[in-house]
Amino acid sequence: MEEIKQYLLNERKISPVLLERMLPKFEKHQDIAEELTLWIQTKEYVTANPVIVEGYTASDIHRLAPFLDGVGVFNFMISLRERPEKAKQQLAARFPRK
């Protein structure tokens, strides 16, 4: 988890307040956090035995929403797991942005 924290603070320049909201989600979903850590190290999505949530891998999400970086992709995977109906609506609507 430390690698994710350092990446968010140093590379993404996320505020400590936002960081404190994001980290517990990754702590709760260790499998997704592990793939995010690999993405941080390689900037590539896992293709061999990836985490699948509601039928989607991180690579699938990135292909459907190329404007999301790795952190965004993995945050969306958490949304798929925690609120699958709402997340699937976003997918169906092609990720409308406000």
Instruction: Report residue 83's pLDDT band, with 50, 70 and 90 as the boundaries.
Output: very high
Question: 34 — phi, psi (to 5°)?
Answer: -65, -40
Write down the pLDDT at residue 74.
97
Cα–Cα distance, 84 to 26 (Å, whole number): 17
**Beta partners for 53?**
56
Q: What percent of the chain has pLDDT over 90?
A: 88
Average pLDDT, the chain: 93
Angstrom distances, CA of residue 27 to CA of 5, 17, 41, 66, 85: 11, 16, 18, 25, 22
1-30 pLDDT, tens digit each: 999 999 999 999 999 999 999 999 999 999
The pLDDT of residue 94 is above 90: no
Cα–Cα distance, 64 to 56 (Å, whole number): 10
Question: 31 — phi, psi (to 5°)?
Answer: -65, -40
The pLDDT of residue 41 is above 70: yes
Q: What radius of gyration, in Å, describes the C-alpha atoms of the chain? A: 13
Sole residue written with tokens 């956090």: 33
The pLDDT of residue 97 is above 80: no
